[in-house]
Structure 1
């Protein structure tokens, strides 16, 4: 039998022998590692009896807590509280409620009501700087005071009557600002002082409007006021509701008798058009009708509709 075994070994190649030896070594190493680990890493034993006792004690405390109708549901705030880091300090279970004046409380007293140290300190700083609670609802302005806690302590607020009455008197004594009323003015007769009585019109605007009106010979339309040099469109829109046209007549020019300087001084004619009018008048022995102005190169329909109000024929 030994001969047969020897013969079988002889048929195995050198590589196969090395592989068998390596595999055998790995098996031995694995067995040793498992044995060593089992010695040093013993599993922790769970004391099931002790765990059951702790669970039972917790359940009994929970039932006693639920029977107490005055228990404060502090953990309800957790889902609503934005700053989880300060949750435990944000709200606590009040040991006892008592009547109090928020203007004369100490930090300790605020904490007895359930406020956190941070919120109580903020209230103290507010009072020390001259702040006052004049009515119970003023407590709603306290930052960090939870709504449930506020509803619990609000009925116990007692502020002296004289402080509340002082607050009411000061509130009623505040001035009531009413919108200033403006009178409607006649744009053809109002002087600079009357113009300054309108919103947004100062001495500068008033003087420009009156000067523009005199050079025109009067306004035939309220919209003409907006053409005043430098008058902002926003200002015109403010004063427009207070403008009207009276019965005064416009100052007109004789198209055939007015000299070139008089014509050129009119805001709607200017010097170039005045020269064309004089030239046309000389070439055609005067104007026969006002409509002839349309034949001049600088007079379009818009210019003509403006000029015709200030031109007269003999």
Structure 2
């Protein structure tokens, strides 16, 4: 027996060190497996678990949730003009839709028929079909007797106002809420004008009952006649599109802060306007506005920025609105193969450059 052990040990030591380590690990794993297997056999068997208590609690929880959901989705007749936000949230109406209903009412608007609720953002067909049978619309006279009293009682003593020039404070003095006042101011800033009293009904949030109470106090100043307007146009100083800033551009009729900013940005992209009609290239610029101010605008082309096409790289060329990728790549390839471009007419040999295109970009490029 001793000789057998020595023989096995001698053979074991003949293996390389790495192989001996692997043998040790394998033997250890075998021994651990045998030990664990015997240990499991010695453990007492665990009796079957009794899940009856857990299942009973789960059943009770499900019944509670079902009852809660049934209570939450139970509708009763309600008036959308008077129901509170808390009561709306107790129904199966999404919170965002409930908030939008309250916001709509806060503008002074009234729901007079079921279809009015379809105006609410987020009110889809499934929500509307669930609540429609429960909507109630009692007579507005009985339910909202104070609706006609939205204006201050002392308004009879404060005279009249012109919606074209009245300040926000003045409008609020006549009973306009903040929402209505902001809409009137924005309407005027965009170039809108009230020519008739009834034009106030164009303002979102101003309804007929409110307007009828307000109408006796609206005094719109008469607009200038055509002769006066013509005389003012003759006296109006022309504006150079290449030097005017946004404040000067806004003096032109029909041009507000948005178009003034777009004109300046487009002028920078171009390098300057070479002719007034390029205003029509400004995003969204109305042709009728251009023709109305055509005689009041000029373009001084002496300071137009020109691109040196023999030295400009791809990034500089592609920034210009009149160049596209195909044109820029073709020009650079032509320049690499043939050297510098001596005359602008050579561009006709390049793909994408016809006579019309060359004349269009001529003010903005140079061969120098």
Same topology, TM > 0.5: no
TM range (shorter): 0.3 to 0.5
Instruction: Tell me the TM-score normalised to structure 1 length.
Output: 0.42
Instruction: Tell me the TM-score normalised to structure 2 length.
Output: 0.36
